[in-house]
Structures are given as structure tokens and as C-alpha cells.
């Protein structure tokens, strides 16, 4: 094993990585020196290379194991535990601040619906720090659903109902005081369903979108207004929050949008 104090004698820069539990995620292939250095420095059990972009509705990553074999780990963040298999489901480090921000916006009088729950990225922190009456956490990918269910137990949370399936098949109407739409690229296609789920007195939708910076202030709001009016609601207040740069010129934003019934 290479002693990393000797790294200054080696000819490489520290490779960039993200640490999820005891697994490192890198974006390029590493040579033996780089692998040995990272293992010694971070005490990781596994190093995984991710393809830069995670695509498909289920957001399944394409990976290559560079070191070790174990792909499941428990990641601790903001006092929450997330069990995750990095070979099957994604984890976005860039959303860390959003996971924190969203965690305290609800309260014990609310019913929340997380339409794209994943392994509980938003559901778990909201349940833990806002303690709503109930969160319905909807997830299409069976692997993510499995970890979502495990994470509910791991965090000893009782007010979450995980549901496996397409959120467009969710049958409860007009029940949510707050809806999380943590999905990108085609989130607007799910807005009509969100308004079907929204409480008849109105409520809040956290609407995510990937949008070019030139239309960042306009397009998400136009889409929200259009679908609100189509479904008998009006946009009362909103705030656009930037989450992270998604691609050159493109931002991942979330709009906190409050609606009233017309």
C-alpha cells in the first residue's frame, strides 16, 4: 500500500471524488497510484466510476468498479441515514443544500406528497425535521423503493407511506398541502397530476426544472401558471431557488410555488 504522505513524489493530482458512506464516486478512470492514494486517504471500501450523466426515467447509474466490490453503504447527512446501493440508484451531492432547506418547510398539520421519492432524499429529512401528519412517498424504481422502505425503518420514521408505482396512478385526490416534485428534464409533464393531488384549498408545490439561464425567471413560472389555471388554481406567491449548475448555461432550479383555488 502506498503511503499517501509520499504523494508529493508521485506525478498526479488528487482525483476529484464524492464520498457516499464508505464508497467513493469518481468520474474518470484512475491508475493504481491514484487508487491506492485515495483508499489510504479516505479509508473507503469501494471506488466506483460513474458515467457523467445519469439518464432514463429511473435514473439508473452506469458504473464501473475500480476498487472493491461492495456497492451498498449507509450515508449520513444532516442527521439522516440513507442506505443506498450506488450501482442501482443515484445520489446527487449537488442537492445537499436543498435536502436541508426543504426539511423544515412543512409542519405537523400538513399532508405531503413526494411524487419522485427515490430512496427518500427529501421524504426522510422532511419527516424527521417537520413531522407532517403523513408523507405519501411515490417511487417507480423497485430498487429505490426497496431502499426508501429500509430508510424509513433506519431513521425510525412512522409518518411515511411508501408506494411503489407510477405517480400518475396515485389514486388520492385533493389531499396534499405540499407536494415535492424532485425530478428534472420533464417535470412539467407531471404538473396536471400534481394539481389533481393538491388540496382543494390550495397549497405549495416545490417544482424542479432544468432551465437555460436566459429563461430561468420566466419559463418555470409560465408553466406553473398555465397548468394551475387549467386545473382551477392560481399562482399566488413564488420564489425561484437555484440548486446547481446542471450543464453549461443550464440551471437546476426549484420554485416554491403557493397556489389558491380559483
Ligand X SMILES: C[S@@+](CC[C@H](N)C(=O)[O-])C[C@H]1O[C@@H](n2cnc3c(N)ncnc32)[C@H](O)[C@@H]1O
Task: Please name every residue paired with 20 in a beta bridge, in sequence order, or none if there are none.
Answer: 23
Q: Is 118 among the residues that bind ligand X (CB under 6 A)?
A: yes
Nearer to ligand X, 34 or 139 (CB): 139
Q: Is 37 among the residues that bind ligand X (CB under 6 A)?
A: no
Q: Is 111 among the residues that bind ligand X (CB under 6 A)?
A: no
Q: Is 183 among the residues that bind ligand X (CB under 6 A)?
A: yes
Q: Is 177 among the residues that bind ligand X (CB under 6 A)?
A: no
Q: How far is the CB of 262 from ligand X (least distance, A)?
A: 27
Helix (H, G, I), strand (E, B) or coil at 106: coil
* Pairing mode of beta strands 111-114, 178-181: parallel
Choose the stretch contacting ligand X; rule: CB under 6 A; options: 2-10, 74-82, 135-143, 248-256: 135-143
Rounded Cα distance between 21 and 182, Å, is: 22
Q: Is 105 among the residues that bind ligand X (CB under 6 A)?
A: no
Task: Please name every residue paired with 212 in a beta bridge, in sequence order, or none if there are none.
Answer: 250
Q: Is 82 among the residues that bind ligand X (CB under 6 A)?
A: no
| Element housing 98 (H / E) | helix 96-102
Q: Is 166 among the residues that bind ligand X (CB under 6 A)?
A: yes
Return the closest-CA partner of residue 138 out of 176, 105, 93. Answer: 176
Choose the stretch contacting ligand X; rule: CB under 6 A; options: 28-36, 54-62, 63-71, 198-206: 54-62
Give the one residue of 34, 110, 139, 209 binding ligand X; rule: CB under 6 A.
139
Q: In what order do the strands lie in the sheet with 46-50?
A: 18-20, 23-26, 46-50, 63-67
* Pairing mode of beta strands 80-85, 111-114: unpaired
Q: Is 167 among the residues that bind ligand X (CB under 6 A)?
A: yes
Rounded Cα distance between 190 and 115, Å, is: 9
Give the one residue of 36, 73, 87, 95 binding ligand X; rule: CB under 6 A.
95
* Pairing mode of beta strands 23-26, 46-50: parallel
Nearer to ligand X, 36 or 167 (CB): 167
Q: Point out which residues bind ligand X (CB under 6 A).
A: 57-59, 92, 95, 116, 118, 121-122, 138-141, 144, 166-168, 182-183
Amino acid at each position: 500500500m502506498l503511503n499517501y504522505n509520499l504523494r508529493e513524489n508521485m506525478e498526479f493530482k488528487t482525483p476529484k471524488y464524492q464520498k457516499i458512506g464508505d464508497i467513493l464516486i469518481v468520474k474518470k478512470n484512475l491508475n493504481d497510484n491514484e487508487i491506492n492514494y485515495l483508499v489510504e486517504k479516505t479509508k473507503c471500501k469501494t471506488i466506483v466510476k460513474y458515467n457523467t450523466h445519469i439518464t432514463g426515467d429511473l435514473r439508473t447509474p452506469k458504473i464501473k468498479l475500480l476498487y472493491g466490490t461492495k456497492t451498498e453503504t449507509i450515508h449520513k447527512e444532516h442527521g439522516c441515514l440513507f442506505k443506498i446501493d450506488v450501482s442501482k440508484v443515484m445520489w446527487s451531492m449537488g442537492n445537499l443544500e436543498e435536502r436541508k432547506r426543504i426539511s423544515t418547510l412543512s409542519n405537523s398539520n400538513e399532508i405531503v406528497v413526494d411524487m419522485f421519492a427515490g430512496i427518500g432524499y427529501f421524504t426522510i429529512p422532511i419527516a424527521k425535521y417537520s413531522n407532517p401528519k403523513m408523507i405519501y412517498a411515490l417511487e417507480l424504481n423497485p430498487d429505490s423503493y426497496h431502499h426508501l422502505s429500509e430508510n424509513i425503518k433506519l431513521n425510525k420514521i412512522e409518518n411515511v407511506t411508501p408506494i411503489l408505482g407510477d405517480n400518475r396512478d396515485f389514486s388520492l385526490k385533493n389531499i396534499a398541502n405540499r407536494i415535492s416534485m424532485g425530478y428534472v428534464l420533464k417535470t412539467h409533464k407531471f404538473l396536471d397530476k400534481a394539481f389533481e393531488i393538491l388540496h382543494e384549498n390550495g397549497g405549495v408545490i416545490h417544482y424542479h426544472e432544468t432551465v437555460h439561464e436566459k429563461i430561468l425567471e420566466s419559463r418555470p413560472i409560465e408553466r406553473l401558471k398555465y397548468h394551475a389555471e387549467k386545473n382551477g388554481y392560481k399562482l399566488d406567491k413564488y420564489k425561484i431557488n437555484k440548486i446547481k449548475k446542471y450543464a453549461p448555461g443550464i440551471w437546476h432550479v426549484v420554485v416554491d410555488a403557493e397556489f389558491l383555488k380559483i
